[in-house]
């Protein structure tokens, strides 16, 4: 078996989040752009659970010191994950989220096009159609009426408040599209957020800068003013990132705008509600909606409820406050932790 296909299979079988094969084998070309064949063989020795180099060495038959040097090189290449402890731990990661994000600063136009093909041919649909979504939309805080009972995991500021550490990083999705001569003018730098173990990884590898919670909240505000959508891991506690997404570049929202997947993929527990009496038909909400869920009717904005992901961007940017957010009749409760999420995703994996 080709070593790169062996690696793809190892990732797909060892980690709940799928790394599917395509007929075109574009994912193999993508892996080749990152790893030499001997490096791919080493990555195949890792498991989906973080382990120290001595444990991996026993499995590989390679001397520990030599192996650790290779593992550190693979970390720098963004091919594996490292937990920064006195005795570091190393593990496999899936194609996304994982290898894709860890290529920040390492992409070129050719590599970006390979990734884009993989996403559109197979990966996007495969990841986003699991019975348990990996992502969820988090509404803009100020878009939710004060009289609604907001749960802690539904507040985007609360994610930052509970994190032990965080970094701000470049949006890899918009950066890649820019390389390809596509995309939009939404913010790229210091706009995506990573927390705790992922914050350490990004900071240690020069892919982001550690910031205070106050700086993080300022970045949230910049994202909201630009009309970007907050998304995070579908967990109640300990999410590792907040992405601030646009509908033309970002992997998650392109699932709706390009792959036409149902909103159950990542919707929030809220939905927009437009007041016909107060709406002036200015069209601001149509312009701001990243998933094209609003159109202008004869004189007022009209919402397609089947497309509304409940992000609150329209409500927070309506100049006459004609849009409010309401709780959906049917709501969902995220898994409590990342471990619980992985178990549920594994159970729903095809």
Q: Can you give the pLDDT at residue 143?
A: 86
Q: What are 5-61's pLDDT values in tens digits?
A: 999 999 999 999 999 999 999 999 999 999 999 999 999 999 999 999 999 999 888
Instruction: Categorize the per-residue pLDDT at 350 as very low, low, confident or very high, splitting at 50, 70 and 90.
Output: low
The larger pLDDT score, comparing residue 174 to residue 130, is at 174
Which class in CATH covers the domain with range 3-96?
Answer: mainly alpha
Distance in angstroms (rounded) separating the CA atoms of residues 32 and 101: 17
What are the sequence ranges of the domains in the chain? Answer: 3-96, 127-265+331-347, 270-327
Q: What are 317-330's pLDDT values in tens digits?
A: 999 999 999 999 99
CATH of domain 270-327: 3.30.70.20
The helix/strand/coil state of 76 is helix
Query: Do residues 278 and 272 lie in contact, with contact meaning Cβ atoms separated by under 8 Å?
Result: no
Query: Do residues 255 and 294 lie in contact, with contact meaning Cβ atoms separated by under 8 Å?
Result: no
Cα dist from 105 to 102, 199, 315, whole Å: 9, 16, 35
Q: What is the pTM of this model?
A: 0.95
Mean pLDDT along residues 108-117 = 98
**Sequential DSSP letters for 135-162:** EEE---GGGS-TTS---GGG-HHHHHHH
pLDDT over threshold 80, residue 138: yes
Q: How much of the chain exceeds pLDDT 90, in percent?
A: 91
Q: Across all residues in the chain, what is the average pLDDT? A: 95
Q: What are 236-265's pLDDT values in tens digits?
A: 999 999 999 999 999 999 999 999 999 888
Distance in angstroms (rounded) separating the CA atoms of residues 224 and 141: 10
């Amino acid at each position: 078996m080709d070593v790169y296909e062996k690696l793809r299979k190892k990732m797909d079988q060892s980690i709940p989040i799928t790394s599917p094969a395509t007929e075109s084998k574009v994912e193999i070309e993508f892996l080749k752009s990152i790893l030499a064949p001997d490096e791919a063989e080493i990555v195949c020795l890792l498991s989906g659970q973080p382990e120290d180099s001595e444990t991996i060495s026993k499995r590989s038959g390679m001397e520990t010191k030599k192996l650790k040097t290779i593992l550190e090189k693979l970390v720098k290449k963004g091919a594996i994950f490292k937990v920064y402890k006195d005795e570091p731990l190393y593990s496999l990661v899936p194609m996304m989220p994982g290898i894709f994000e860890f290529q920040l600063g390492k992409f070129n136009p050719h590599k970006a096009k390979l990734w884009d093909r993989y996403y559109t041919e197979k990966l996007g649909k495969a990841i986003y159609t699991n019975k348990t979504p990996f992502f969820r939309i988090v509404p803009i805080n100020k878009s939710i009426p004060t009289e609604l009972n907001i749960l802690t995991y539904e507040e985007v500021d609360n994610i930052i408040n509970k994190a032990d550490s965080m970094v701000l990083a470049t949006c890899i999705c918009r950066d890649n599209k820019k390389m390809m001569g596509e995309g939009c003018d939404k913010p790229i730098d210091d706009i995506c957020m990573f927390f705790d173990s992922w914050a350490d990884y990004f900071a240690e590898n020069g892919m982001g800068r550690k910031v205070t919670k106050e700086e993080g909240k300022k970045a949230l505000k910049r994202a909201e003013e630009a009309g970007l959508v907050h998304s995070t891991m579908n967990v109640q506690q300990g999410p590792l990132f907040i992405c601030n997404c646009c509908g033309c570049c970002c992997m998650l929202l392109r699932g709706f705008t390009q792959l036409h997947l149902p909103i159950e993929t990542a919707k929030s527990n809220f939905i927009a509600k437009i007041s016909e009496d107060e709406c002036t038909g200015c069209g601001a909400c149509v312009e701001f909606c990243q998933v094209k869920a609003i159109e202008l009717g004869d004189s007022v904005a009209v919402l397609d409820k089947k497309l509304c992901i409940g992000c609150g961007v329209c409500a927070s940017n309506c100049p006459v406050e004609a849009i409010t957010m309401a709780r959906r009749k049917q709501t969902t409760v995220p898994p409590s932790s990342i471990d619980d999420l992985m178990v549920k995703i594994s159970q729903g994996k095809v």
